[in-house]
Structure 1
Amino acid sequence: MFILNILDYSPIDEGATAHEALLHTTELAKRAEELGYHRFWVAEHHHVLSVASSSPEMLMMHLATSTKLIRIGSGGVMLPHYSPYKVAENFRMLEALHPNRIDLGLGRSPSYQIVNRALNETKGKRLSYEQQVQDLYQFLSDQPSENHRFNGLIATPVIETTPEIWMLGSSLGSAQIAAENGAAYAFAHFGKPSSAGVEAIAHYRKQFKPSQFLEKPKVMIAVFAIIAETAEKAEALAKAFDLWLLFVESSTPPPYYPSIQTAIKRGISSSEKEKVMQNRKRMIIGTAEQVKEKIMRTADQYQADEVTIIPNFYGANNRMEGIALLAKAFGLQR
């Protein structure tokens, strides 16, 4: 049986504020811990006005302090935006204060180009993603290479434990990087649900090289999950999610996550229907038992060790209810 986790985007529900969204994330993390979920990750999204989680490290510190047992992680830190040395020190600080509870999920960054330019405005030569990953591993391993350009540089604080490292991706390229570096691999099924994902994970397992951080391959898949007490309510929440996805990809997205009422009132145009149908392939929708069955089938398809649900649907109370219903269906317990 696989491990079950949560990734939260901190959505700003219609009528709510970013402050309230972050408080909702905190309460969701506490509830996830009570229910028996293994990990609670937070996202990094820039220039998405309907999402409050732009700085996962800072939110992680707050969540780790607000909980006691559940692992807290990033899903993920977008490495091309940053210095690997700074990322190493941020996560060592987190791990120093909350040993054996911190996950470092790394991504290549799907953000807007203007975001990357703003975050790197004063930098000169850009490093390749592969080089950044290697640098980060060196700073976290305390085993510097004599040939490295920063040989002798130590990421502080020096601690006895290490954050658990996960490479995030949805392609053969990301699978290869994870395998070469001996990292756990989290596949974004919610982004590209296709046979290519199964092939990427098979490639990862075959090419995996043990590292000081991980002895054997470990696979997680992440899925959008909309869970409600009835199938009818789940479908209503899914319609609001349909609209949010359309909003996010539009030129003038509103600064909130649309409600069920807004989704009903606005509806979907004929030109949007095909996009909505494509997006529906990225979701698992239904009652807890229906979602459980679909998750188990998907996990078996990938031979996943862990499944991370993204309960990115409208309403803090709906999200709290959804994760509780699913925990009960899976028989989770702390």
Structure 2
Amino acid sequence: MNIPSYLMLDNRDEFLKKIEATSEPAQIIGNDAENQVVIARCKEHPLAYVCVYGSNYVSVVDIVEARRLLDITVDEGPFDICIDKKHMLAYVSNFFSNTLSVIDLYINKTINTTPVGKLPIGVAVLPGGRFVYVVNYGEPSVYVLEARTLKKVTEIALPSNGFTIDITANGTLAFVSLRDAQQIAAIDLTLNKVIKIIPAGPGTEVVKVSPTNRHVFVSNEDGNSITPVNVALVEAAAPYTGQSGPVGIAFTDGGNTVYCANRFAQSVTSFDVFSHQPLSTIPAGQGPYGLAAANGGKLMVVSNSYEDTISILDTRSNKLLQSVVVGIPAFLTIL
């Protein structure tokens, strides 16, 4: 595809000059949605990529302007998404199509789709972008794909069906939530083998590695709790309690504060990682589900599964700033 030079991120300085040369930059570069995404990036606005589970697209939302810019077509039932920032690629699991889609983030288009296992949900990319891992909720397995070719390299057997996945910063360990078994599987990625099963709570859903790389936090939606795991010991500690259907997890303060989306309470709550004490509650929309931090943790973006919106929350004032209509959302990520 031929891309005009002013749309390439390598020419950011030149592009910014074009924007500043007029009060209406759209007249220079066009009004189409793809160009609006480029403008937002060059303004250094964080962008939310939202899996619209009730349809077949990923919505791109400018968090600063609270504006939906573009819908990127994928397969049916996009559920989870991860981004390889080194190569500017996004990987999307398509629940109803049993496929994985690859989005080129330079042009915001799907460039490849490949079959995976049954009912895929969790997806993660190895630091450096060499391999992609897909958790299949409809069968007890994790597919390992070579990122460049999307060729299946191997399949990691799980003791029960998995849900989501996250990988440590050094790329040696992965943690997979086993929703129906109330457990977490720790996988050695040098062996592609489960090395330990960790007890969690009912409805184990989202697993997230802290930015400190010392802890993993797992939400137990049906158990109204969050299970912390010590990465070095690969052992669980006493749970955080008092949530109401926790699902999405995100961090601020370099990993010292953990936030969770309360699906049954229309709120997002935060806790101090070391004291386990609750810190704040922020109102959200109906059925908060996916959660991601933006602007260095000053903002939280939450997908509302019982309505067609995402909400943008201010973690400094603990207020809901704005909601944006996208469709029925599942998980999301921030670029």
- Say yes or no: TM over 0.5: no
Q: Which has the higher contact order (CA 8 A, sep 6+)?
A: 1
Higher helix share goes to which structure?
1
- What is the TM-score of this pair, normalised by structure 1? 0.31
Higher strand share goes to which structure?
2
